[in-house]
Amino acid sequence: MPAMDQYSTRKYGFLLLPDFTMISVSACVETLRMANRISGDNLYEYELFSLDGSSVAASNGLTLHPISELSQDVNPEAIFVCAGLSLNREWEQKLSKQLRPLARKKVILGGICTGSYLLARIGQLEGYRSTVHWENIREMREEFPDLIISAELFEIDRDRYTCSGGTAPMDMMLTLISRQHGIELATAISEQFIYDRIRGPNDRQRIPLKQRFGNSQPKLIEAVELMESNIEEPMGLDELAQHVGVSRRQLERIFKKHLDCVPTRYYLELRLRRARELLLTTPRSIVDVAFACGFVSPPHFSKCYREFFKIPPRDERNNIGTTKTDF
């Protein structure tokens, strides 16, 4: 693709996959729209695509129109794959068939939210830095140990633009606009959206407990870090307390005061959330997921899962593609 000067209209395409996250796509499109409005020029054009040209419902149940089928005939500067919780392997063959010719034409490929995960699965992130929504970082690293997968808000690495979910795509678009048309325009856009700070690529996705509490609660932070590091073989409460250097009762008081729950409950929720990540984004069996998250038996895991998420793990797995959960 030939180099573009500052005043050329840039064409961006967004490939929507079933259950894509609406907020992430809106953050991209609205930022580009506002750039055109404030500048008074047609700086950006954007088009929505799907794998087959039909309308696609977001995870909130809303559908965007119009939709075009992505084909080799389109010639945007960049195509962003927009996904959500559903990572259906049945899409990969067609996705690869449609994106590989565009990549050969030097079209920039991007991933919004879990779109990065799908780009990795079709071999389009080899040799690039990339990122994905924080809920998927661990399993993506496990599935692709040779890829460079960061926990940053977004990564702009040559002709690969990847971004986490939520409002982070707005920060990536504002960064691109700043590079292409100047920081003044990017700042004016952020002010229109009452966005107090344009976050950079080195900002972290989550606010760690260490950042929330600073140095005021070192025992709490140490205990949570131990829990997160011991999901498959959970530590007992007495063992946790001993490692942290407090009594069991003291540890319970610390958790109750600052996290409004007892340590055992917090630990169980960590393991259940990890199990849900594995169920939704990997093909691992429910039995494997149960043992990987420290449950002594699949029936016990199913009982705990159903009580916490209000749905059995088997139904959760079967509902992939129709789940209405947003990031």
The per-residue pLDDT of the chain, averaged, comes to: 88
* Longest Cα separation, the chain: 67
Structure confidence at residue 96 as a pLDDT band (50, 70, 90): very high
User: In this predicted model, what pLDDT tens digit does every residue of 223-264 receive, in sequence order?
Assistant: 998 998 999 999 999 999 999 999 999 999 999 988 888 999
User: In this predicted model, what pLDDT tens digit does every residue of 109-135 receive, in sequence order?
Assistant: 999 999 999 999 999 999 998 999 988
Q: Which long-range contacts (CB under 8 A, 24 or more apart) does 53-57 make?
A: 56/16, 56/17, 56/18, 56/20, 57/18, 57/19
Residue 76: asked if its preceding bond is cis (omega within 30°), the reply is no
SS (H, E, C) 42-63: CCEEEEEEECCCCCEEECCCCE
User: In this predicted model, what pLDDT tens digit does every residue of 143-202 receive, in sequence order?
Assistant: 999 998 988 899 999 999 999 989 999 999 999 999 999 999 999 999 999 998 898 876
Give me the residues paired with residue 112 across strands.
82, 163
Q: What percent of the chain has pLDDT over 70?
A: 92
Residue range 315-322: mean pLDDT, rounded? 64
pLDDT number for residue 32: 98
Question: How many Cβ atoms from other residues are within 10 Å of residue 90's Cβ?
Answer: 8
Give me the residues paired with residue 162 across strands.
111, 155
pLDDT number for residue 104: 93
Q: Do domains 10-192 and 209-318 have the same CATH topology?
A: no
pLDDT number for residue 16: 96
Task: Please state which architecture CATH assigns to domain 10-192.
Answer: 3-Layer(aba) Sandwich (3.40)
Dist CA 80 CA 288 (whole Å):
33
Residue range 80-100: mean pLDDT, rounded? 90
Residue with tokens 């990031």: 327
Q: What is the CATH number of domain 209-318?
A: 1.10.10.60
For the chain, give every domain's residue range.
10-192, 209-318
Which residues have a Cβ under 8 Å from the Cβ of 194 and sit 6 or more positions away? none
Is the pLDDT reported for residue 47 higher than 90?
Answer: yes
Residue range 195-212: mean pLDDT, rounded? 75
